[in-house]
Structure 1
């Protein structure tokens, strides 16, 4: 074992993602190479339709990869059982929750399902983790509220809390700031960064908020059809990686400010 390298939580090599229909493979993106270590907040960015959500679902074992490798905690993803994955990876997708009639506490409690007995009895340890998750997202005072009574920002916090309560080392979130205003977008991403750094969990999320991600992420993956570029935001700016995201005659990336502007 190489002790000089940090603990790698997630790694992909030559990964290709897409769909298989009638024995025919439809590739969305190829040659995706990146790795994340414990305690990092990382964002996946790219143009619409490039496969950000598909990549996240593939990493969460919700849909199969087409080729290449995914290793989770140094073990190939396919060698983990369903029960092991439930205790190792939590996934928050953009689909609406099944029942907004649940209370905040009830919804977050669902995160403990991988650990409860067959009748779903919560132990003292389960309750402690649920309480900790509520505190982390600052929702303790609203724990008895029904989910339909919450704002979009509050509901997003509850979904994050459910993932925290699941107590996995890897948390995958698809567009956690969708439908939120700028203040709440920043608030959610700062919360995720704080959770990653304080709990040493690895958090990976997809986003359209490239400029906010540049400011808050430890690492970023720029997803493109035939290649992927990975590194810290500073490294990616130095490599001029963001300049290829949009047509230069329409949108220009300003390396000095880490922001995009319209080419007038």
Structure 2
């Protein structure tokens, strides 16, 4: 268990935004095929993510959104293709080095909900602590800053089982943020949340990406919200898998092929889907 030294989190300064720079590509995917052993779920995936951008992976159920995220996070092996972080193939990173580059929030439940919020967020510092788990002043500062950014200061001593779904989701994101990686991957971060909290989480992620120059990628069924809030979107369709800014995807009619036209149509004027009655 990580040892946490009690401090007043409000005395710590927030993360300083990185000064503007040219769009550096932090994650690059070339001709990627994903799946399980001999079963291919999706192939021909090509896209790149730049620093300071919020991006989403959208598509129908079962197309491979979560499989792609798990593959990018090195939780399962790719079938073929290349995944590069800062120009270096992920296979060439050792596990500890990769953990300092990329953090992942999956949909699996946490190991123990008996932890406090502060203890959960502190787990994000494990790649940097010694085997005893002592937290340095830097570790504590990162933890407290993450608690602040996710507005969890008043909940940090609350047990995780006492939290609402939205509060627990914020705590999980804070843990990933405390890991202080350049890239953050999130699988369905708005699942089970009401409309207000879905918007709150996505706007918060966009703010973090832009202000701290993190590269944030998440999977979602909230396509209309992704269109309004994301800088880039990957439409996983199993064939073309188009990737671009939402306005360009709309211009190229990429969203119109997502669902059967006799059931749902996409309105490019409003960026929304309409049910065919």
1:17 and 2:34 correspond:
yes
Q: In the aligned structure 1, how far is the partner of 2:22 from the partner of 2:181? A: 22
- 1:96 — aligned with what? 109
Please tell me whether the aligned partners of residues 29 and 227 of structure 1 are also in contact (alpha carbons under 8 angstroms).
Answer: no
Please tell me whether the aligned partners of residues 14 and 67 of structure 1 are also in contact (alpha carbons under 8 angstroms).
Answer: yes
Kindly state the Cα deviation for residue 227 of structure 1 after the two structures are TM-superposed: 2.6
Q: In the aligned structure 2, how far is the partner of 1:117 from the partner of 1:136? A: 26
- 2:155 — aligned with what? 142
Q: SS of 1:179's equivalent?
A: coil
- 2:14 — aligned with what? none
**What runs of 5+ residues in structure 2 fail to find an aligned partner?**
1-20
* Normalised TM-score (structure 1): 0.96
Q: SS of 1:148's equivalent?
A: helix
1:53-112 CA distance string (max 9 Å, x none):
000000001101111111111101111110111111100000011100000000000000
Q: In the aligned structure 1, how far is the partner of 2:106 from the partner of 2:133? A: 23
- 2:134 — aligned with what? 121
1:173-215 CA distance string (max 9 Å, x none):
0000000000000000000000000110000000000000000
**More displaced stretch, 42-51 vs 221-230:** 221-230
**What runs of 5+ residues in structure 1 fail to find an aligned partner?**
none
- 2:208 — aligned with what? 195
Q: SS of 1:9's equivalent?
A: strand
- 1:112 — aligned with what? 125
Q: In the aligned structure 1, how far is the partner of 2:240 from the partner of 2:264? A: 21
**Which of 80, 95, 102 is 1:67 aligned to?**
80
**Which of 156, 181, 192 is 2:169 aligned to?**
156
1:178 and 2:195 correspond:
no
1:206-262 CA distance string (max 9 Å, x none):
000000000000000000123310000000000000000000111000001100010
Q: SS of 1:177's equivalent?
A: coil
- In the comparison of the two structures, how many residue pairs are matched? 257
Q: In the aligned structure 2, how far is the partner of 1:86 from the partner of 1:182? A: 32
Please tell me whether the aligned partners of residues 193 and 217 of structure 1 are also in contact (alpha carbons under 8 angstroms).
Answer: yes
Kindly state the Cα deviation for residue 138 of structure 1 after the two structures are TM-superposed: 0.4
Q: In the aligned structure 2, how far is the partner of 1:82 from the partner of 1:101? A: 28
Q: In the aligned structure 2, how far is the partner of 1:62 from the partner of 1:143? A: 29
Q: SS of 1:228's equivalent?
A: coil
Kindly state the Cα deviation for residue 118 of structure 1 after the two structures are TM-superposed: 1.0
Q: SS of 1:6's equivalent?
A: coil
Coordinate RMSD, CA, aligned? 1.0
